[in-house]
Chain A
């Protein structure tokens, strides 16, 4: 019978904490850039001009239908050679996950904007607002509220996806666990602690998302998926 011993792993708790911080850093960066870029992509895709809507649709489909790990490798190993720039693992991860989550957020924004009744547009235009004004003042505020559950679900997916950066040697939580397992020869405890750490953080986020969703459902607004 194997004797569990977490002491050698917990002796490196500082490494794990630094790893968790780096995980949150990548997630936060990709979330902020991804939402802004996602809104831009969604507006381009909803545009009436094909010259704007087709390239946006292409970017969205490509990033939704190729595996994130392939994208990460492309941005880390191939892009620096194409563009002649230096790429740190953090930059590669932030770029990949920003664009990838932008593609998913764009679809959420699009569904949200499309779910707002036509009458809202027409009324805003009738009282003399321009299209951008109507979008900013009337449509988006209503759409955003409906998008919140889908948005939070996506953010949680994003955090799970960031574990991929460990494969390009960025010191996130998973990478720290791998490091500790090699130093202490205790892979079972090291990876179990990492799995539990992820579970605690992500489960808390999921529970918060569920609570918000129930609250929104109680306030009587429909939500989009």
Chain B
């Protein structure tokens, strides 16, 4: 245990870390926006009356929930370009894998949230002349989203953690930069510890927020 910790060698490379942080945040933002938007579509499709819409959405959810994200990312990076006439970049492959995976998971959250709203709300909205789309947008979703908030922040935390998987295809994000620093300065202990601390500091506030939302929801319902 006689190791002398030397974090200065990590901080000397703060430019590399900043580039990594930018890559992580870019991937996180894309996947969060795409994952939630697609998830809402999937959730709506799964509660549709027509089996032609419901069943494909169900198959999509089952497939992406029951395969590992890393397999999906590698598939989009190595396998998909063979079927397409153009290259699939590292960011695109990672974003596709993580977004579609989160769409499947958040689709289930949206479906559960929408189903948890009492049928009377629907009937009331329809009775005063709203179209189904209006009722969904103005009456059902605002109430459902409030109930889904803790589950959705949880999903955001999961997406943030998943962005590290992009390092498997050498996309420049925090973990990838940590690996670079470790191999340049022969300081894997400090480099990986610093990366772990960085992630913990980014995610801890989100975790506390989730706990807070859960408690508030438990009180109000």
- A interface residues (Cβ-Cβ under 8 A, vs B): 2, 61-62, 64-71, 73-74, 77-78, 81-83, 160-161, 163-164, 166-167, 174, 177-178, 181, 187-188, 190-192, 194-195, 198-199, 202-203, 206
Contact = CB atoms under 8 A, between A and B. Distances in A.
Contact of B71 (A68, A70, A167, A194): A194
A73 B179 contact: yes
A146 to B, nearest CB: 18
A125 to B, nearest CB: 28
A69 B165 contact: yes
A74 B79 contact: no
B153 to A, nearest CB: 13
Interface residues of B, number: 44
Contacts, number: 117
A190 B79 CA distance: 8
Contacts of A69: 164-165, 167, 175
A74 to B, nearest CB: 4
Given A78-B188, A198-B67, A67 B161 contact: yes
Nearest to B190: A78
A199 B175 CA distance: 28
A84 to B, nearest CB: 8
B67 A74 contact: no
A187 B165 CA distance: 19
B83 A188 contact: yes
Interface of B: 1, 3, 62-63, 65-72, 74-75, 78-80, 82-83, 157, 160-165, 167-168, 175, 178-179, 182, 188-189, 191-193, 195-196, 199-200, 203-204, 207
Nearest to A178: B74
B66 A202 contact: yes
A187 B74 CA distance: 9
Q: Which 4 A-B pairs have the closest CB atoms?
A: A67-B161, A77-B188, A160-B68, A163-B68
A2 B65 CA distance: 28
Contacts of B203: 65-66
A184 to B, nearest CB: 13
- The winner among B75, B79, B195 for most chain A CB atoms within 10 A is B79
Contacts of B188: 73, 77-78, 81
A209 B183 CA distance: 43
B70 A166 contact: yes
Given A73-B178, A167-B70, A177-B74, 8 more contacts: A66-B196, A73-B188, A163-B68, A166-B168, A188-B80, A192-B75, A195-B71, A198-B68
B193 A78 contact: yes
Contacts of B80: 188
